[in-house]
Structure 1
Amino acid sequence: MGGTENSPDRSDDFTGLRAIFLNCTLKRSPELSHTSGLIDLSAGLMRDKGVDVEVVRPIDHPVATGVYPDMTEHGWEEDAWPALFEKIDRADILVIAGPIWLGDNSSVTKRIIERLYAMSGMTNPQGQYIYYGKVGGALISGNEDGIKHCAMNILYSLQHIGVTIPPAADAGWIGEAGPGPSYLDEGSGGPENDFTTRNTAFMTWNLMHLARMLKQAGGIPARGNVPGEWSKEGTSGLDPNPEYR
């Protein structure tokens, strides 16, 4: 049975939610991406529970570098970001996934975070920053240390621009330290790893739970967090917004 006004919805049907996974691999389709193995675990569970899921590899699209909404207005000949952002804007759940290189997030992951930030001055229908009401998570793959470092960077960045982060919102697999098999390589042990599979499941369920809670509640209450009404006292709109936007 679904929840009532005074109790949470405990059903396993999350129909009506939309999720987008951004696979920030450095490999263009159809080249094998080990990050996609983790995405398939999470996205498969979401689809099984009724979530409308889309997976995008930004590397397949000419996403320009920069911190403005449309970089064709700043010297670039083309920029796929505005069209990709339309997909993100429609989503309730945003998962940034990518590999570890030199102990850090991939260059594509960093570019996507910069472009997400580029839109952060926009507002939603309640006048809040555009990402309010969305929930976010992180998936990390690789064969060297750095899962927690990479996840911290992604999750901090998402919450800073207004995305809500649920408990246990990250998962990853790195195998043995140093050169070795990646997640989907034969004999790697990745798909059979209970720790990674459990953490991916926890992240996925918590994303769905929190996304549904926020959607049913109409998002984050628009009180004290509307930039157009900001003031030092939080009571009037006389003082300017301190952000450069």
Structure 2
Amino acid sequence: MKALFISCTLKPSPAPSNTEALAAVVADALQERGVTVEHVRLADLDVPPGVQTDMGDGDAWPGVHERLLDAEILVVVTPTWLGRPSSIAQRMLERMDAMLSETAENGTPVAYNRVAGVVVTGNEDGAHHVISEIGGALGDIGYTVPGQAWTYWNQGPGPGAEYPETEHGHEWSHSTGRLMAHNLHAVATALAAQPVPPPQS
């Protein structure tokens, strides 16, 4: 079983990402269950705006799309900006919109029988809004979003320390992240054993 973590931080490598630091807890828990984990940071790639899988020369999205189709588990990793997902997360969802019309050989939409979850951080509130926006969009695309398939950390109201600068809230965020990994793996395993069949015309 494979998991793809797509980081939507605004920071290109090698700048550290607070949200990726929390996502590592989820990745470790999945690896403990035998899942192969791969990471992609979209800020390092040339992904132009659009709603097609391939926007032509220089577009790095087709490679990400191929990795999406090779993974049973998707984890979207995004910071919170102004109480919303990052602009890169929005662009990711817009490019994934093309998957709505893509099907496997048996006619099943390509996102079916795959699970997805969300990891969010920010030194401001808004994590639940970000989780609901991304989780709802992934459900529209065809992913199964299990219950409690998310974790987040925020400092609280107003400006303050960032995730690596404090231990505030880490215990809860980490335990929730491990539960997230458990639920993602359990539901992905169930779908592998009993997949959703192709829609009947």
> What is the TM-score of this pair, normalised by structure 1?
0.79
**Alignment correspondent of 2:5:** 21
Where in structure 2 are the equivalents of 1:145-224 lying within 5 Å? 145-185=125-165, 188-190=166-168, 193-217=170-194, 219-222=195-198
More helix by share: 2
How many equivalent residue pairs?
A: 201
| CA drift at 1:150 | 0.2
Q: CA-to-partner distance for each residue in 1:121-163, whole Å, 9 max, x for gaps?
A: 1002320211001001011010001010000000000011110
> Unaligned stretches of 5+ in structure 2?
none
More strand by share: 2
Q: Distance in 1 between matches of 2:99 and 2:170?
A: 37
SS class of match (1:184): helix
> Unaligned stretches of 5+ in structure 1?
1-16, 230-245
SS class of match (2:23): helix
**Alignment correspondent of 2:94:** 114
Q: Distance in 2 between matches of 1:36 and 1:57?
A: 9
Q: CA-to-partner distance for each residue in 1:55-113, whole Å, 9 max, x for gaps?
A: 110111101111111112xxxx5210001110110000001110000110000000001
Greater C-alpha radius of gyration = 1
- Flag as ranges the 4+ runs of structure 1 deviating above 4 A: none
1:93 matched to 2:73? The reply is yes
SS class of match (2:178): helix
What is the aligned-residue identity percentage? Answer: 36
**Alignment correspondent of 2:107:** 127
Q: CA-to-partner distance for each residue in 1:23-46, whole Å, 9 max, x for gaps?
A: 100001110100111110000111
Task: Name which structure has the greater RCO, CA cutoff 8 Å, separation 6+.
Answer: 2
> What is the TM-score of this pair, normalised by structure 2?
0.96
Contact 1:168 1:202 in 2 (8 A): yes
